Structure 1
Amino acid sequence: MTEENRTDAVEEGLHTNRAGKAKPRKRAPLFNDQDKDNISWFYSTYLKQRTPWLGLVMVMILIQGLAYQQFISLTESGLRVIFENGDVSGLIGVCAMVMGIFLIRAVMSYCVPRISVWLASDAVFNMRRDLIDHMMSLDLAFFERTKSGDIILRLVNQAQDLSGFIGQTTVNAVRDTVTVIAVSGYLIWKSPLLFLIVIVVMPTITIMVRQISHGIKGTQANAENAMGNYMSGIEEMTNGMRTVKIANQEPVERARLNKATSEIKDLTIRLQALQALMSPAVDVIAAIIYVLIIGVGGYMALSADFAMDGAGIIGFLIGMALIFDPARRITAFFVSMQASLIILESLRSLYRELPTITNAPNAKEEFNRAGDIILDNVTFQYSEKHPLFKGVDMIFEGGKVTAIVGATGSGKTSVLSLIARLYDVTDGVVTIGGEPVRGLRVDKLRQSFSVVAQDIVIFNSSIWENIRYVRPEATDEEIWRAAELVGIDQLVRDRGDAPLGPKGSQLSGGQKQRIAIARAFLRSAPILLLDEATSALDQRTEEKVREAIWTLSQGKTTIMVAHRLSTVTHADHIYVLDEGMVIEEGTHVGLMAKEGLYAAMFNAQRSSYG
């Protein structure tokens, strides 16, 4: 939940005009149009098919409410048997009936949460599954502009909170409402006047709980933010521990985390202080109500003008005791409901993110994967304020090695993104084998690529499983062959099933690159994309990895993006990009002869190597 949403949910009552004066603000409705639409969507999508089960839960909740009503009636009867009739057998019968009623209620109290939690968990499971499916269909642009923490928050915390609200909080609120209605109905039937006198005081509880809840929600929001900052600080500290240790900055990190911890402590104390106000305040109101029942009810029992006796007063007191806590919980429910409505909106907003990279009508599945890849008069920009390409023409011949070089930010990696259709061009066309990539099925297009990049995704599992990731159906023989081709087979045997640590922390940079190349061997796609595949390696390791890449590229259309120019000297053709424009192209020998930007960059790098 963002801070903006929290503020909108908490802020009520007053707002400041331009002159700086506070003026009343119109109270927002309990459910706005967006809330109603979200509730309708969630019910129709995830709960409607379970309507019979929901009906069963409602029947059991109704039985619970009626059980309390009958308990009060039987209590009065039992008291009259004791004080008026003195009938032992009648008293035994009343006790047996009370016991039976509470056994029935006990069964309902067991079944209701079991069924309701199952319904809610199943609904949220289906929603999580749909959210994951939908998220997998979204463009790369969505993940590049969205923090991973926001996605985790929605799929984990918010979904779980919503499950608890639906399966427990809401069902308990319905049960409490039925209890209040059933018992109140009985009390009204017993003495409308006494109930009216008592009910006049009840709104005080609502007002009091509402005011305290406002303070609690605001402090809770601040506490969540402080906790989030604390967790981010811990993540930054652990990820950068190498730098912390080398720079001897432990005191700085200790002070930073202690400061965040102190803020959490202060907010926690403030939150507990606000929460502590709730119980004594409600107790005072309860005392006033009970005094009214005893005083007014006692007068009615003593007076001949009212049909009220001692048993009736005790029954009335029991009835008020039975509805008092449920009424308080219902009030608190509406506070938590507002937070849950915000969570529901946050989850549904993910569905409003729509992919732009989709299959065209009648998209083709088959195309010449070994054909030339052409960028024809391509214009592209990530944002209107920052254009990248304008009228770019490039040809990557099928079965040959083509390199793209240039300074950081010149658009090298963006060329690969356009070819793989991670983004669509603004103007112009990208073709493979003469077919525009927009006219090809996205999955078939991307199955045509093997990728080796600088930033390798390594999972915390074995090397074997990391290699098999790109082809789960691969045979053991195929995986071993891929590992042998890159010289990592012995490491696979040595480590066995041992996990590699978060992000492959137990591997060197060269070992990670070899896993990436082994994946490319295993996938064996006809088009090979190399994105700075060796830039993070030392010269000796680079030479070994380059040999594996050279073997891998045989017979494939290979596109190399490189900053280190020594890795592209063997390429059949080289493009030199600068600020989104092709300013030079040719072979290594031809570009060196031109003595242009490429030659200057190559000579500068060669001299820097010593």
Structure 2
Amino acid sequence: MNSAARNAPAGSQPVKAELWRRIYSRVGSYWKGLLLAILLMAGAAATQPVLAVIMKPLLDGGFSGAKPYYVWALPLAVVGLILLRGICNFFSDYLLAWVANNVLLGMRRDMFERLLGLPDADFKQGDTGRLLNRFTIDAGNVTGYATDVITVLVRETLVVVALICVLLYMSWVLTLIILIMLPVSVLISRFFIKRLRRINRETVNMNAELTRVVGEGIDGQRVIKLFDGYEVERGRFDFVSRRLRRFAMRTATADAALTPLTQVCISISVGAVIAVALSQANHGALTVGSFASFMAALAQIFDPIKRLTNVAARMQKMLVSAESVFTLIDQKPEIDTGTKELAEPVRGKVEFRNVQHRFPDADRDTVNDISFTVEPGQTVALVGRSGSGKTTLVNMLPRFVLADSGSILVDDTPIDELTLRSLRSHLSLVSQDVVLFDDTIAANVGYGALGKSSEQKVRDALAAANLLEFVEGLPQGLNTPVGENAARLSGGQRQRLAIARALIKNAPILILDEATSALDNESERQVQASLERLMKGRTTLVIAHRLSTVQNADRIIVLDAGKIVEQGPHAELLAANGLYASLYKMQFRED
């Protein structure tokens, strides 16, 4: 998150100006609809002062009977003006909503595109609630407030200007009194702007925290129930909710204080207007109709001025949300500087040369000076204690994790010279944490670029994964939804579905990351049989917790504290009576 908007001071003028530019450059891309909406708003605004002007002929000429046709002409004029205003307001509101929703669509597309392109490390920061909040709340706030600001600034400004013209026409002396008090109201409103901006930023952050707490409550509901975590979760939720309530009350206090203070200024000016008007009327300088028109225009000017004053709070909410949205859009995508494609046919040779990596703030290397080669079609297992660097090492192959030094090669080509699409198109992954989407079984097996696979290919992959019989027994067969997080499937079924997905991809290099460690014995046997079919003829890197599953590997590499301490076939490592033998005997005793 290295964007300028993130690093610069939140209230700095350059940052605010840049946010305004970025917001309205998106809005301006729909300038035709926006221009038409503004013209319609101008039409609606023009009707308002005319209603005030009608008061003068109504009182001076209508009630005296001097002009009898006023009896029907003035009522028709009022009805016509109101109808015209309603039509203009309807179509301007519709066009602004069309602009706002199109801008929101484009903004969310850009956010999601950047989200998919973020480095793997960014998803390890536990910021899921904040990310979701940007899509659901912040993006909507930006576009919603952006068009609201346009509506208020254009329509209400035009109304205020037109009404001031009417006031000047009726009596410039009385209008001068009003104009003297307007700057006072503006100064009062500015006093609250900075406070509202800070509160709105804190509210956005706390909304993200609320999303995270509720999400964890949903995902962890079984753990909460089994370990009696009700009070803990209620405490977390109450803390966030109380903070949100406090921020909401601070905002409400500022908004509530702004209105009466503005009204006090207005009442002072109205009192002065009445006093001066009575003095002018006594000297014959002001008629009853002129004064009525003046007061009608004055009465109408308060609401648009109030809305113009309150638009400052909307601007602050819009800018705070825009900071959040553009922070995501401005994040750097994962590095993809490669220009080469893997030459076909891909043999699947994988080589690690003196690879070293250390996570930020870690006190030691996760992997240190690792070198080994996996020949095409070989199976190499990585074993060791937890934290020995096995997962980090294999995550370097698809470039989810980048090596600090050394190099990794596929078919003798350094992977940083390959495009990410070319590299990853020749890799398959089956891990302990299976990711399945809330879609049908067929859609999950033929996911992504494999979505054009025929039904027969999907069936063949399911058959090879020992899952076809189960799927055909379901009422909807291949079209059966798996549910959110594949909740309708058992652990073994989820694993075999992931294996079927890897089978249909038919990549020459396969990564198995503890694919059977979370299964019971029966499920493990079924999954292991599926894995053996999947591994046949492929270069395979296996991370194994259960050492019994890697006895037939061509080579076993034993890692400890990020370094290779042993390597060789199963029997040879047992005979060496080193770390591998110790781990194997420990598991044997446990079993």
Find out whether 1:189 has 2:169 as its counterpart: yes
Give 2:106's match in structure 1, choosing from 126, 134, 147.
126
Find out whether 1:205 has 2:190 as its counterpart: no
Per the alignment, residue 340 of structure 2 pairs with: 363
Find out whether 1:395 has 2:394 as its counterpart: no
In structure 2, C-alpha distance between the alignment counterparts of 1:186 and 1:269, rounded to whole Å: 39
Letter in 1 for 2:84: I
Per the alignment, residue 607 of structure 1 pairs with: 589
In structure 2, C-alpha distance between the alignment counterparts of 1:561 and 1:119, rounded to whole Å: 52
Q: Residues 233 and 135 from structure 1, CA distance in 2 versus in 1: closer, same or farther, beyond 3 angstroms?
A: closer
Task: Report deviation, 1:588.
Answer: 0.6
Task: Report deviation, 1:534.
Answer: 0.7
Moved more, 97-106 or 219-228: 219-228
Task: Report deviation, 1:249.
Answer: 4.8
Find out whether 1:157 has 2:133 as its counterpart: no
Per the alignment, residue 42 of structure 2 pairs with: 62
Per the alignment, residue 20 of structure 1 pairs with: none
Find out whether 1:295 has 2:299 as its counterpart: no
Per the alignment, residue 219 of structure 2 pairs with: 239
Task: Report deviation, 1:271.
Answer: 5.9
Per the alignment, residue 515 of structure 1 pairs with: 497
Q: Residues 188 and 37 from structure 1, CA distance in 2 versus in 1: closer, same or farther, beyond 3 angstroms?
A: same
Higher relative contact order (CA 8 A, sep 6+): 2
Task: Report deviation, 1:541.
Answer: 1.8
Identity of aligned residues (%): 27
Q: Residues 55 and 222 from structure 1, CA distance in 2 versus in 1: closer, same or farther, beyond 3 angstroms?
A: closer
Please list the CA deviations of residues 328-362 of structure 1 after superposition, one character each: whole Å capped at 9, or x if unmatched: 111111122022112222222223212242132x4
In structure 2, C-alpha distance between the alignment counterparts of 1:130 and 1:266, rounded to whole Å: 33
Letter in 2 for 1:401: T
Find out whether 1:110 has 2:90 as its counterpart: yes
In structure 2, C-alpha distance between the alignment counterparts of 1:222 and 1:373, rounded to whole Å: 49
- For the residue of structure 1 that corresponds to 2:69, the secondary structure is helix
Find out whether 1:550 has 2:528 as its counterpart: no
Task: Report deviation, 1:584.
Answer: 0.9
Q: Residues 88 and 344 from structure 1, CA distance in 2 versus in 1: closer, same or farther, beyond 3 angstroms?
A: same
Letter in 2 for 1:562: A
Letter in 2 for 1:388: T
- For the residue of structure 2 that corresponds to 1:461, the secondary structure is coil
Is the Cα contact below 8 Å between 1:378 and 1:393 reproduced in 2?
Answer: yes
Per the alignment, residue 358 of structure 2 pairs with: 381
Give 2:400's match in structure 1, choosing from 422, 427, 452.
422
Q: Residues 36 and 63 from structure 1, CA distance in 2 versus in 1: closer, same or farther, beyond 3 angstroms?
A: same
Flag structure 2 segments of 5+ consecutive residues without an equivalent.
Answer: none
Please list the CA deviations of residues 413-436 of structure 1 after superposition, one character each: whole Å capped at 9, or x if unmatched: 122221112233222221111111
Find out whether 1:38 has 2:19 as its counterpart: yes
- For the residue of structure 1 that corresponds to 2:366, the secondary structure is strand
Per the alignment, residue 461 of structure 1 pairs with: 439
In structure 1, C-alpha distance between the alignment counterparts of 2:205 and 2:322, rounded to whole Å: 20
Letter in 2 for 1:130: D
Find out whether 1:101 has 2:81 as its counterpart: yes
Moved more, 146-155 or 325-334: 146-155
Per the alignment, residue 50 of structure 1 pairs with: 30
Is the Cα contact below 8 Å between 1:380 and 1:387 reproduced in 2?
Answer: yes
Q: How many residues align?
A: 582
Instruction: Write out aligned runs for 1:479-490 (5 A).
Output: 479-490=458-469
Please list the CA deviations of residues 371-395 of structure 1 after superposition, one character each: whole Å capped at 9, or x if unmatched: 4100112222332754333332111
Root-mean-square deviation (Å): 2.9
Give 1:581's match in structure 2, choosing from 558, 563, 569.
563
Is the Cα contact below 8 Å between 1:369 and 1:527 reproduced in 2?
Answer: no
Is the Cα contact below 8 Å between 1:452 and 1:530 reproduced in 2?
Answer: yes
In structure 2, C-alpha distance between the alignment counterparts of 1:228 and 1:186, rounded to whole Å: 49
Is the Cα contact below 8 Å between 2:200 and 2:320 reproduced in 1?
Answer: no
Instruction: Write out aligned runs for 1:185-334 (5 A).
Output: 185-210=165-190, 231-250=211-230, 253=233, 275-277=255-257, 279-304=259-284, 306=285, 308-334=286-312
- For the residue of structure 2 that corresponds to 1:395, the secondary structure is strand
Task: Report deviation, 1:576.
Answer: 0.9
Please list the CA deviations of residues 447-492 of structure 1 after superposition, one character each: whole Å capped at 9, or x if unmatched: 1111100001122333333223252111111111222222222332
- For the residue of structure 2 that corresponds to 1:423, the secondary structure is coil
Moved more, 548-557 or 205-214: 205-214
- For the residue of structure 2 that corresponds to 1:558, the secondary structure is strand
Please list the CA deviations of residues 189-220 of structure 1 after superposition, one character each: whole Å capped at 9, or x if unmatched: 33222111123233443445455677766666
Task: Report deviation, 1:228.
Answer: 5.4
In structure 2, C-alpha distance between the alignment counterparts of 1:323 and 1:123, rounded to whole Å: 32
Is the Cα contact below 8 Å between 1:412 and 1:561 reproduced in 2?
Answer: yes
Q: Residues 436 and 253 from structure 1, CA distance in 2 versus in 1: closer, same or farther, beyond 3 angstroms?
A: closer
Please list the CA deviations of residues 482-517 of structure 1 after superposition, one character each: whole Å capped at 9, or x if unmatched: 222222223323443554343122322212111111
Letter in 2 for 1:373: V
Q: Residues 226 and 53 from structure 1, CA distance in 2 versus in 1: closer, same or farther, beyond 3 angstroms?
A: closer
